[in-house]
Amino acid sequence: MANKKRRTVKRKTVSADASAEHKHKTGKRFSSAQKNKVTDIGGYRKRKRRAGNTRWVRVLLLFIICIVAGYYFSLSSFFEVKEIVVEGNVSVSKEAVLRSSGINIGDNIFAVSLEKAEQWTKINYMISEADIVKELPNKILITVRERTAVAIVPVDGGFLQVDKDGVVIDRSKEMDNPQLPLLTGLDAVAPGTVLGAKIYHDLETGESAAPSGNKEKCLAALSVANQMNETAREFITEINAANTQKIVIYTKDNTEVRIGSQADFAQKFEAFYALLAAQEKEGLLPTISYVDISLVSSPAIFYVK
């Protein structure tokens, strides 16, 4: 075999002085760049500040655009009232409730004032309470509570039906609701008392209904009527509150029962009802002059002599 010629590479050598000089120059360039970078912190802060200000401007602009868009969207037909539901009405028609409330189909649901609508709804004297809620996007629910008669007040020329607050809700020439007790012993109530007015003069609020009876007597009689359950309404025909501390009631058998004040009437009724039932069973009911139940713990029966 022929002898191969060995190839040699001559290694480049760098002198120590040249290496030191190179390192010095490189280090000098690095130090200068680093120094410039550090000393330019003011410019860096300005650039960051400008970028931050621009970002907040964009955020604020986007926020304003969203508000404007939301406002015009709320005024669109999407939020027009398309359905109004009325609940709780019996004698008052749905149309009458809607007329009183002032709410109409097509109104913007956000423009409807619930507080004002509730107040207007109660303008109808037959409605004692009204609760109105919005159901987005286009429905309104009106819940009313009607006034119901609890007693009848006789007046010249007829009878007035009143609710638990003494508000007149009906007037008739004849007593057409015998299930309700008569309130007697009151001061004169004007026969022309209008519907929706109270049968007494409210001294606290200055509310003057018709020239009416004494407030204390009316409230005492109404308190008794409001405490009557279904059995009591069928059993009691009259409540006489001429003396508020000596109220007298009369049963369907024309038995006189003296109950004292209106306090705890429900308990008093249970006591004298059981007492009279026992007397009727023994056949003694026709001989009773009156019953005094002003003290529930010690009822007394007085017989005809």
How far from each other are the two terminal CA atoms of the chain, in whole angstroms?
167
Phi–psi pair at 194, nearest 5 degrees: -80, 155
Gyration radius from the chain CA atoms = 45
For residue 178 the two structure tokens come to 């015998």
Residue 209 predicted with pLDDT over 50: no
Phi, then psi, of 2 in degrees rounded to 5: -75, 145
Q: Considering only CA atoms, which of 295, 232, 233 is closest in space to residue 264? A: 295
DSSP string, the chain: -PPPPPP--PPP---HHHHHHHHHHHHHHHHHHHHHHHHTHHHHHHHHHHHHHHHHHHHHHHHHHHHHHHHHHHTSGGGB--EEEEES-SSS-HHHHHHHHT--TT-BGGG--HHHHHHHHTTSTTEEEEEEEEETTTEEEEEEEE----EEEEETTEEEEE-TT-BEEEEESS---TTSPEEESPPP--TTPPTT-BSBB-TTT--B-SS-B-HHHHHHHHHHHHT--HHHHHHEEEEE-SSTTSEEEEETT--EEEEESSTTHHHHHHHHHHHHHHHHHTT-GGGEEEEE-SSTTS-EEEE--
Per-residue confidence (pLDDT) for residue 62, from 0 to 100: 83
d(C-alpha 283, C-alpha 147), whole Å: 41
Q: What is the pLDDT of residue 155?
A: 87
Query: From the centroid of its chain, how far is CA 303?
Result: 52
Q: What percent of the chain has pLDDT over 70?
A: 77
> Given a cut of 70, is residue 21 above it in pLDDT?
no
pLDDT in tens, 125-183: 999 999 999 999 999 999 999 999 999 999 888 899 999 999 999 998 888 778 899 99
Residues near 148 by beta carbon (within 8 Å), at least 6 away in sequence: 163, 164, 169
Work out the pLDDT band at 203, boundaries 50, 70, 90: very low
- Is the pLDDT at 24 greater than 80? The verdict is no
Return d(Cα 169, Cα 39) in angstroms, integer. Answer: 91
Longest dimension (CA), the chain: 168
Among 19-28, 99-108, 222-231, the minimum mean pLDDT is found in 19-28
From the list 163, 161, 164, the residue with the least C-alpha distance to 189 is: 161
Q: Which amino acid is at 87?
A: E
pLDDT for res 101: 95
Residue 240's DSSP bridge partners are 184, 248
Q: Report the chain's mean pLDDT, rounded to a whole number.
A: 83
Percent of the chain topping pLDDT 90:
58
CATH of 151-303, one of 3.40.50.2300, 3.40.50.11690, 3.30.2310.20, 3.30.420.40: 3.40.50.11690
- Cα–Cα distance measured from residue 132 to residue 86, given in angstroms and rounded to the nearest whole number: 9
The residues spanned by each domain of the chain are 79-146, 151-303
pLDDT in tens, 48-103: 566 556 777 777 888 888 888 777 667 778 889 999 999 999 999 999 999 999 99
CATH 3.10.20.310 fits 79-146, yes or no: yes
Please say if the pLDDT value at position 292 is more than 90.
Answer: yes
Question: Average of pLDDT values for 192-211?
Answer: 64
Tokens 């400008």 sit at which residue?
Answer: 50
pLDDT tens, residue by residue, 27-55? 555 455 554 554 566 665 666 566 556 77
200 vs 190, more confident: 200
Which pLDDT value is given to residue 17? Answer: 54
Burial class (CB in 10 A: 0-12, 13-18, 19+), 181: buried
